[in-house]
Amino acid sequence: MFYFVLAIHIIVSLMLVGIILLQQGSSADLAGAFGGQGSQTAFGPRKAASMLTRLTAWGAAIFMITSLTLTVMLSRSSGEHSVLSGTAGHPVTQSQPKK
């Protein structure tokens, strides 16, 4: 099950990279470079959601769900629950500065 979720996670992440690179920015024209956005909103004028925007939203949701699923699966499979749990038997030594 872990490898299946990992494969979906990798496929979705590659799909997201492609979809995001295909999208046009909110102020990608020449007027946007000099501040003429045509609207007073922070990220440019609001457009209707295109198919690429919807695919990005769904891809991001699936990416987050698979990320959380992989994290839970890995935490349940390993016996240690902390990064520092393996350092209890090793004393910490500090080096002295040279004089």
Domain encompassing residue 16: 1-21+51-73
**Each residue's pLDDT tens digit, 46-81:** 566 688 889 999 999 999 999 999 999 988 877 666
The count of domains in the chain is 1
Contact 2, 70 (CB under 8 A): yes
In a domain, 85, yes or no: no
Nearest to 17 by CA among 60, 71, 51: 60
Global pTM exceeds 0.75: no
Place of tokens 């749990």: 85
In a domain, 12, yes or no: yes
